[in-house]
Amino acid sequence: MNAKLCGHPSAVFPDNNSAKETQPALLGDRHGKMTDHKDHLFPPREDFREVHYLTEEKVYEILSICEGKKDYSPLIRVIGRIFSSAEGLVQSFRKDKEQHPNTKEQRKTHQAKDEDKDEDDKERTSAMEQESEESEASASMEGATGATENTLGPVEVSVDIEAVRRVYDRLLSNEKMEAAFLNALVYLTPNVELDLTYLDVYDTNPDYLNIFIIVMENSNLHSPEYLETAMPLFCKCMSKLPLPAQAKLTRLWSQYSVEHIRSMMETFQQLITYTVISNEYDSDSLVNDDECVVAAAKCLKLVFYANVLGGDLDTGHNEEEEEEEEASESSELTLQDLLGEERRNKKGPRVDPLEKELGVRTLDCRRPLIPFEEFVNEPLNDVLEMDKDFTFFKVDSESKFSFQTCPFILNACTKSLGLYYDNRISMYSERRITALYSLVQGQQLNPYLRLKVRRDHIIDDALVRLEMIAMENPADLRKQLFVEFEGEQGVDEGGVSKEFFQLVLEEMFNPDIGMFTYDESTKLFWFNPSSLENEAQFTLIGIVLGLAIYNNCILDVHFPMVVYRKLMGKKGTFLDLADSHPVLYQSLKELLGYEGNVEEDMMITFQISQTDLFGDPITYDLREHGDKILLEFVSLYGDYILNKSVERQFKAFRRGFQMVTNESPLKCLFRPEEVELLICGSRNLDFQALEETTEYDGGYSKDCRVIKDFWETVHSFGEEDKRLFLQFTTGTDRAPVGGLGKLKMIIAKNGPDTDRLPTSHTCFNALLLPEYDSKEKLKERLLKAITYAKGFGML
């Protein structure tokens, strides 16, 4: 009675006569059309208990019966029974039904046949392994069904995904069916969670992954009914999949269409948003402890990496391995070992396990299928307690979940706050080490990184001091920075450091120095391959950039994006020329599309020429005997311009940058474009947002006449004057990460009406504004103050 349907009625029914009567009604034809016997063979309460798994044909067959009777309860019961059973769902919608026999006798027969075929299978497998890499790559990218036909492919699955999609499309158009899928998923998830937690079912049966593949094809998962009941349980199950299963699911999804990946992304995003806005979080009830949000974030990670794998990848052109070894050797300290200090870079996860399993990094993706920004969840960022999350990330990473392990879901502002905590803790750690060292050695050491410089010799003074520190003890670079200008009274609480960085960069990027070349069309700087400056100068620039990040300062730096990609460990390629050398890129691109004879028409070979610092031509062979080898040199040309020609300069620059940041979570949290935002800030100045967040002190309020006159005056300024005002008040003309709304500016009353100019404390973003008696006077005094704003003094 419990035997599954098959093509041999004698195997199911002992009585052949009953089989002859029943078989046509049960099986129908291949198109699901039933015979004339169906009306009296299927009673109204028929529940198809002999159906233990589903195929597309079987679903349509039962649906046809239900439509004929105008009663869908039999199909609803079958859907509920199969979709709530892990075993039934694993066996459903297989590509080849003959591989999954129904009866014990059939399974034994198939097992015997499989043993006989073992030797043949080995021979076929050996032959397939010898196929060319091109054939394998072509087969592995067959994404129409979401799975490959290559039996050796890493994403082969036994479920027929296209059949599942057709069944969902057919059944979900019927409102009566939707509740059946929803209720079945609610009943399914507790058993699946137990299986994954205690039984290691995936190791014994990889087809267990079919459950998640089939469920995720349901196009209604984003509906409120699912988000409220079924999806939290299902995400919890998926998050418990072992790492190989997660990687396989990610590779499979990476072959889906953009629409399917976006649909899955939106489902998990909506679940996170729905849960976050439906609950209240505080210091005692953290969002990190919400199992639903955590599980959904882990599931969203699979979709994120599928989005990366499906995009334009560049897994080669890496230059970080030898550089990292050099940096780690140069930064290895015995002091911390002597004092029992554990290395900070051993705390918290540095390499994501899924990233390692997939063999791909976010940095490797030049253009994802879906923009990275769409994976950021703003409601989650709003409720995340970053100080607690950072603690989980660095200390309790095994027992507590940190959203910094899913950095794609965090915006740059939230991540920069995590980096700020890391930098501050590092400063306190270095201060503690210095104090302990002083006790041991009996001599007083400076717990801070102090630089005393002269304005007219700022490069020489800074270079000598920082070079000595880098040689003697690079760890001192991770102390808190204090800058003092000789002959000036300013005390550095952040503002003096900002001016120091600005003056150093103005000097270093001066075209007369010759360290960098400037492109008038792009307004960007690039390393001068013919520079006569020694490596120490470029190392200083790298240290300055690292110190700016470390001390939370924004710099006025104009580099193309390829510089930040190279800092993160990727070499420049031909595609990067579009940003750094757009004219050259366009020429090479047109050359690639030229259909004529390049050698004869353009006389182009593997030999190129450049001009040096003095304007003299220099020739370079991209290959040996470049003057005799013909075209296809675009890749080598890009490599020469972006890597080889500036190798000496950039290595020194990167070495300086890593002296400060090599123990920072910068690489695992930020993408290159976010690193640029972190260093340079935003060029978009929203003064309306600044006005809304500004605080007032000393008797001023937002309703005071002077304050109203002040904001009307500032809003009337042109772009240049607005930047001068920001420079005067905050020490930089850029907005911080997150925009001017994140800049906490204070306007304080500085006495009654007077002829004195407004003053500022750039360390605290504070403007001291006298109570001028007219709007015209306020504007005149303010413009004069921001125009002549060099130097520091004591008030």
State the maximum Cα–Cα separation within the chain, in Å, rounded to a whole number.
Answer: 114
Contact 253, 211 (CB under 8 A): no
Please tell me the distance from the alpha carbon of residue 550 to that of residue 420, in angstroms, as a whole number.
8
Q: Which residue among the candidates 235, 406, 680, 763 is catalytic per the annotation?
A: 763
Please tell me the distance from the alpha carbon of residue 675 to that of residue 666, in angstroms, as a whole number.
8
Write the single-letter amino acid at 579: D
Contact 693, 741 (CB under 8 A): yes
Please tell me the distance from the alpha carbon of residue 418 to that of residue 674, in angstroms, as a whole number.
14
Task: Return contacts of 712-717, CB within 8 angstroms, 24+ apart.
Answer: 712/775, 713/775, 713/778, 713/779, 713/782, 714/687, 715/687, 715/688
Write the single-letter amino acid at 434: T
Among 252, 259, 257, smallest CA distance to 302 is for 252
Please tell me the distance from the alpha carbon of residue 17 to that of residue 10, in angstroms, as a whole number.
10
Among 463, 500, 524, smallest CA distance to 676 is for 524
Find tokens 């340079």 and name the residue: 680
Torsion angle, CA of 593/595/601/603, rounded to 10 degrees?
50
Q: 763 catalytic, yes or no?
A: yes
Q: What is the DSSP letter of 698?
A: T
Tell me the two tokens of residue 118. 């073992």
Contact 400, 287 (CB under 8 A): no
Contact 385, 590 (CB under 8 A): no
Query: DSSP letters of 509-533?
Result: T-TTT-SEEEETTTTEEEE-TT--S
Among 218, 212, 208, 207, smallest CA distance to 181 is for 218
Contact 749, 742 (CB under 8 A): no
Torsion angle, CA of 295/298/299/302, rounded to 10 degrees?
-170
Active site residues: 763
